[in-house]
Chain A
Amino acid sequence: MYGFLISIGVILLIMLIWMVYRIQTLISVAKGSDKKIATTSNKVNAILFMVFLIVFGGWMVWYSIVEFDNFQLPIASEHGIVTDRLFWITTAVTGFIFILTHILLFWFSYHYRYREDRRAAFYPDNNKLEVIWTLVPAIVLTILVISGWKAWSDITSPAPDNAHVVEIMGYQFAWDVRYPGVDQQLGGYDYRLTTATNSRGIDFTDKNAFDDFPSQNIVLPKGEPVLFNIRARDVLHSVFAPHMRLKMDAVPGMPTRFWFVPNKTTEEMRAELGDEEFEFEIACTEVCGIGHFTMRKVIRVVEPEEYRKWFTEQTPFIKSNPDLIADLPVELKELAKIYINEE
């Protein structure tokens, strides 16, 4: 019944629009305005450009100010402060140009609307002007690029030797985390070793793997460099930690990395935002399949002392699942048992 009524309404509406359309066409023919150029519509369009400029310009400025705290994510890494500063400098520069060019565009449209008594200026070129507006953008862009390049080189430089290494492996549709254990060396891996119990394909013939341990969340110390070793098991993924201003693709067959210094603990951030539930998160930003939007991982940033304490409390893979070393040669197995029996 509703469908019927709606369709009748739609039909009536279309007929109404049709009538209005026909009437205005006939009127314009009767008035002969279809032959004129300086019509009312010409003026209306010119005015609408000014209205658009004022309404949308004002709306944009107002919304940007009012909503600032909403869209501006708090920063929780040292390089994030640098990239955000670059972002806001670029916003200032481009914002100025954006507003200036739009004022010119719409003001010219309004001011130079057609008038029968006026003739346009014949002004085909001016090399001086062209040179100016080639050079000025070039110089401004150069400055922006050089500051961006410096930040980029710092961010992508090799990680410091004392960086805490964490391995993050993406797969459909979650992240697996591995810590290198007390030796600070991640054991090797081979995707062909992947099984239900060894989801990361860790090669336990590598002694470095004996003390490697998994973790439900990523736990990081505040103020110390951290190196993410990133890889993927099946398709492309991308590690995105928005508060850390960190993003790096996870590529099957090609390990990638990203190092940074977290500079706020989760507790500090909770206090700052007044949100007791707050967590740092990792999301996936490279489309990877049906569950792309569910790949969440929590990062917990803690004080360094707390981190060290937590680190020593963790259980290595082979301890929680001794079957992992069942097939090892005898001498390696003996070595591994030392880790297992350690309290």
Chain B
Amino acid sequence: MAVANVSAHDAASTHDDHDHEHHDNFITKYIFSTDHKMIAKQYLVSGIFWAFIGGFLSVLFRLQLGFPEMDMSFLKPILGGWINASGKLDPAFYLALVTMHGTIMVFFVLTAGLSGTFSNFLIPLQIGARDMASGFMNMLSYWFFFVSGVIMFISLFLEKGPASGGWVVYPPLSALEQAIPGSGLGMTLWLIAMVFFIASSLMGGINYITTVINLRTKGMAFSRLPLTIWAFFLTAVIGLLSFPVLFSAALLLVFDRSFGTSFYLSDIYINGEALPNTGGSAVLYQHLFWFLGHPEVYIVLLPALGITSEVIATNSRKPIFGYKAMIISMLGITILSFVVWAHHMFVSGLNPFLGSIFMFLTLIIAVPSAVKVFNYLTTLWRGNLRFTPAMLFSIGLVSFFISGGLTGIFLGNSAIDIQLHDTYFVVAHFHLVMGAASFFGMMAGVYHWFPKMFGRMLDEKLGYIHFWLTFVGVYLVFFPMHYIGIAGFPRRYYSWTNFSFADMYTDLNMFVSVAAIITFFAQFIFIFNFFYSMYKGRKASANPWQSNTLEWTTPIHPGHGNWVGEIPSVYRWPYDYSKPGSKEDFIPQTVPLSATPESNLPHEAKLVQLEKEIMAEEGEELVTNESKES
């Protein structure tokens, strides 16, 4: 049955097979490629590169937090002057480390590395398109991202250090060079890099949206789209609406920094000098920033949830439970994500009434998230679970999504947030729900679609080891932070020994640091597996996971254009797993209902007649077209 996907017109039209095959040279194939699959791989490799940089920075500051007495002179070859004469990490550089860790992880890894990779790779393959709507703009999107990365990377090596005001870069700290060394050239480069990044993600987003709306293959109605595509589509919509606001925030900050305006600056006396700026509002920046910043959480999370939906359904051999409810939840999250931003600002001096409004809106957004979790659980229920590494990472994601999501109920409650705001409780919360969950979504995606990307399989055993070390490691790192946070430990502290209320838990912090370092090094297992399997891995079969979606109907090494001959048509939703009556436990989307009378549900039986009529019409059309051509 799985091979019964060669529909009538497909067979009739394979004559133009290799006529349009491109003959690329190295540069057009691997560097300035317009093929969405190659661009996806470029994003993936860049994302992995940045993930290691970001992870390495976190190891450095975890060393400081876990072992404050340690002599770090052995890091001098890498960090040079940032380790002072007595072997201690420079406190200014500590802030630079946390800032760059946040920036890199949020934007370069979980936005570009996740959306960039999988939206690019899967949208055309799963909706049945030859490529993105604009291949050239897609290429431009990657190269803007690349330039952004180069600029950000250079900023790491500046004499005065990169941006250091936290990844949110709140002014006036980020606006005034005299406030912190990193607010000099480092901050300028941060802003320039972000402008390129925003441009890149807008070009990507426009492409994703256009492609999903316009280039779906015959029969691929919105109600038949895999949940991955729904997720990527809505992610792109969120990005398109919110990134420009970050751009405006950055632009005004550039004006304040360089052209003497006072958008964010007011009544400042610093370094023995009263600045002339008055009338600005530092809180305005926070509003603008979080208008992107909060949707950004969903920009990194939704694709991961989409990937998980697909992976869990496939490997449970069950339809995803509540397909429509999943879509409605995602739509709900998309809309609500724009009206909750000020919950990051409950104690910023915001009008308390506004705080109440945002508390109500914030807790509403927990409802669609809860629905998604229950739907995942029900999908697993009475399934026949195959624990591929991708499946393990997806289950891990669901676990993190629950753990981190529930603590959001504390933080969204403004009365409770008074105490918890900017403590380690927040760090634990968002690292689980947004960091680790999205990272696991990305890993699930890599393990699941690696065979489609490179035509070879990743080694499963290494995948299992990688998963268990990372899953246990992430919990060992972030779960203890809840306790530290309830105890009131503030974020972005170089050391806590100045305060008697926080002069404890040195053992727990040491434990967290050791777990973080082990987790970081466990990622090298993945790196080895990734690059080794790319060349030496076991050869993949056409549909290794016995999945229903369209990408598995392409050749094992799809060329530019994805399908040889006609693009297949779609006759059903993507989740016909273990359908009663069917011999196999999966029926790909390309199998017509008329070919599976034994498994059709009552309402589908009615559709068969309609389907036959359409196919007959198409057949006639094809015949006339061909006779015209010849």
Partner-B contacts on A (CB < 8 A) = 21, 24-25, 28, 34, 37, 41-42, 44-46, 48-49, 52, 56, 60, 63-64, 67, 70-73, 80, 82-84, 86-87, 90-91, 93-94, 97-98, 101-102, 104-105, 108-109, 112-115, 118-126, 129-130, 133-134, 137-138, 141-142, 144-145, 148-149, 151-153, 155-156, 171-172, 191-192, 194, 196, 201, 233-236, 238, 240, 242-243, 245-249, 251-254, 256, 277-279, 281, 283-294, 296
B66 touches A (CB below 8 Å): no
B85 touches A (CB below 8 Å): no
Question: Chain B residue with minimal CB distance to A148?
Answer: B413
A-B contact pairs, 6 of them (CB 8 A): A46-B385, A109-B387, A113-B387, A142-B363, A254-B281, A254-B283
Q: Is B370 in the interface zone, CB < 8 Å from A?
A: yes
Q: Does B156 sit within 8 A of A, measured CB to CB?
A: no
Pairwise interchain contact B413-A121, C-beta atoms closer than 8 A: no
Taking the complex as formed, is B490 at the interface, i.e. its CB lies under 8 A from any CB of chain A?
yes
CB of B483 within 8 A of CB of A67, answer: yes
Complex Cα gap A279–B364 (Å): 40
Bound CA span A126–B179, Å:
58
What 1/0 mask marks residues of chain B from 275 to 295 whose CB sits below 8 Å from any chain A CB?
A: 000111111000000000000
Interface centre among A70, A98, A118, A249 (most CB of B within 10 A): A249
Chain B 462-474, CB-CB to A under 8 Å as 1, else 0, gives: 1010001001100
Query: Is the beta-carbon distance between B383 and A120 smaller than 8 angstroms?
Result: yes
Question: Hey, what's the 0/1 contact readout for B393-433 against A, CB within 8 Å counting as 1?
Answer: 00100110011001101100111101101110000000000
Q: A278 contacts which chain B residues (CB < 8 A)?
A: 500
- Given A113-B385, A121-B382, A145-B359: A236 in contact with B483 (beta carbons within 8 A): no
A234 to B269 Cα, complex, angstroms: 5
- The residues of A that contact B494 with a CB separation of less than 8 Å are 292-293
Asked if B166 is at the interface of the complex by the 8 Å CB criterion, the answer is yes
- The answer to whether A289 touches B180 (Cβ under 8 A) is yes
Additional 9 contacts, C-beta under 8 A, given A41-B461, A137-B366, A247-B422: A42-B385, A71-B483, A121-B382, A122-B580, A149-B356, A240-B490, A247-B421, A251-B348, A283-B501
Check if B460 is an interface residue, CB within 8 A of chain A.
yes
3 closest cross-chain pairs (CB), A and B: A253-B266, A156-B352, A242-B488
Q: Does B218 sit at the interface, judged by CB under 8 A?
A: no
Interfacial residues, chain B to chain A (CB-CB below 8 A): 91-92, 95, 165-166, 170, 172-173, 176, 179-180, 265-270, 272, 274, 278-283, 316-325, 347-349, 352, 355-356, 359-360, 363-364, 366-367, 370-371, 373-375, 377-378, 380-387, 392, 395, 398-399, 402-403, 406-407, 409-410, 413-416, 418-419, 421-423, 459-462, 464, 468, 471-472, 475, 479, 483-484, 486-488, 490-496, 498-502, 504-505, 538, 575, 577-580, 585
A42 — which chain B residues lie within 8 A by C-beta? 385-387
A-chain residues with CB within 8 Å of residue B460 when the two chains form the complex: 34, 41
Q: How far is the CB of A16 from chain B (nearest CB, A)?
A: 14
Chain A residues contacting B267 (CB-CB under 8 Å) are: 191, 252-253
Please, how many angstroms separate the alpha-carbon atoms of A240 and B495 in the complex?
16
Residues on B with C-beta less than 8 A from A63 are 483
Taking a contact as CB atoms under 8 Å apart, the answer to whether B367 and A137 are in contact is yes
Are B266 and A252 interface neighbours, CB within 8 A?
yes
What is the minimal beta-carbon distance from B164 to any residue of chain A, in angstroms?
8
| Set A138, A201, A294: member contacting B367, Cβ < 8 A | A138
A83 to B418, CA, bound (A): 9
Cα–Cα, bound, A254→B265 (Å): 10
Kindly state the separation between the CA atoms of A119 and B583 in the bound complex, as whole angstroms: 11
Q: Which of A102, A104, A293 is packed against the most chain B CB atoms within 10 Å?
A: A293
Q: Is there contact, CB below 8 Å, between B349 and A152?
A: no
- A-chain residues with CB within 8 Å of residue B279 when the two chains form the complex: 253
- Contacts A48-B468, A155-B418, A252-B282 given; indicate if A145 touches B363 (C-beta within 8 A): yes
Residue of A nearest to B403 (CB): A98
In-complex Cβ contact of A24 among B274, B324, B364, B461 (8 A): B461
- Bound-state CA distance A245–B488 (Å) is 9
**Residues in B neighbouring A292, C-beta threshold 8 A:** 95, 492-494
Query: How close is B246's CB to chain A, nearest CB, in angstroms?
Result: 19
B76 to chain A, nearest CB (A): 14
A155 contacts B415, C-beta separation under 8 Å: yes
Also in contact, A287 and B492, with CB within 8 A (given A133-B370, A134-B371, A253-B280):
yes
Q: Is the CB of B488 within 8 A of A115?
A: no
| Alpha-carbon gap, A152 to B180, bound state (A) | 35
Q: Is the CB of A119 within 8 A of B585?
A: yes
CA distance A286 to B317 in the complex (A): 49
Q: In whole Å, how far is B101's beta carbon from the nearest beta carbon of chain A? A: 13
Report B-chain residues with C-beta under 8 Å of the C-beta of A242.
419, 488, 501
Contacts of B415 in A (CB 8 A): 82-83, 86, 148-149, 151-152, 155
How far does the alpha carbon of A94 sit from the alpha carbon of B168 in the complex, in Å? 29
Q: How far is the CB of B406 from chain A (nearest CB, A)?
A: 4
In this complex, what residue of B is CB-closest to A55? B472
Q: Are the CB atoms of A287 and B325 closer together than 8 Å?
A: no
A201 contacts across to B, CB distance below 8 A: 269
* Chain B positions within 8 Å of A253 at CB level: 265-268, 278-282
- Nearest CB of chain A from residue B380's CB, rounded to whole Å: 4
Of the candidates B406, B468, B492, the one whose C-beta lies within 8 Å of that of A97 is B406
B319 and A124 contacting across the interface, CB-CB below 8 Å: yes
Name the residue of chain A whose CB is nearest to the CB of B573: A124
On chain B, the residues within 8 Å of A113 by CB distance are 385, 387
Q: A120-B382, A125-B324, A152-B359 are in contact. Are A71 and B179 (CB under 8 A)?
A: no
- Pick from A44, A86, A256: contact of B349, CB below 8 A: A256
Q: In the complex, what residues of A have CB within 8 A of residue B472's CB?
A: 52
Q: Which chain A positions have C-beta within 8 A of B323?
A: 124-125
Q: Considering the chains assembled together, what is the distance between the CA atoms of A93 and B347 in angstroms?
A: 25
Q: Which residue from A123, A134, A137, A236 sits with its C-beta under 8 Å from B173?
A: A236
Contact, CB under 8 Å: A191 / B268: yes
* B283 A141 Cβ-Cβ under 8 A: no
A191: chain B residues at CB < 8 Å are 267-269, 274
Inter-chain CA distance A108–B318, complex, in Å, is 13
Q: Which of B318, B356, B387, B486 has the most CB of A within 10 A?
A: B387
The one of B382, B421, B461, B488 that contacts A112, using a Cβ cutoff of 8 Å: B382
B348 & A252 in contact (Cβ 8 Å cutoff): no
Whole-angstrom distance between the Cβ of B416 and the nearest chain A Cβ: 5
> How many angstroms between the C-alpha atoms of A21 and B461 in the bound complex?
9
How far apart sit A253 and B486, CA to CA, in the bound complex (Å)? 31
B377 near A104 (CB under 8 angstroms)?
yes
Please tell me which one of the listed residues B180, B407, B471, B484 contacts residue A290 in the complex, with CB atoms under 8 A apart: B180
How far, in whole Å, are A83 and B10 apart by their CA atoms in the complex?
Answer: 66
A125-B387 CB under 8 A given contacts A172-B179, A238-B347, A240-B490: no
A121-B578, A235-B179 known; A283-B367 Cβ under 8 A: no
- Please give the distance in Å from B540's CB to the nearest CB on chain A: 12
Complex CA gap A67/B414 in Å reads: 26
Chain A residues in 8 Å Cβ range of B578: 119-122
CB proximity of A73 to chain B, nearest CB, Å: 6
Check A254–B418 contact: CB distance below 8 A: no
Are A41 and B269 in contact, CB atoms less than 8 angstroms apart? Answer: no
User: CA–CA, A308 to B366, complex, Å?
Assistant: 49
Q: How far is the CB of B269 from chain A (nearest CB, A)?
A: 4
Provide the residues of chain A in CB contact with B380, threshold 8 Å: 105, 108-109, 112
* Contact status B318-A41, CB under 8 Å: no
Instruction: Flag if B414 contacts A152 (CB, 8 Å).
Output: yes
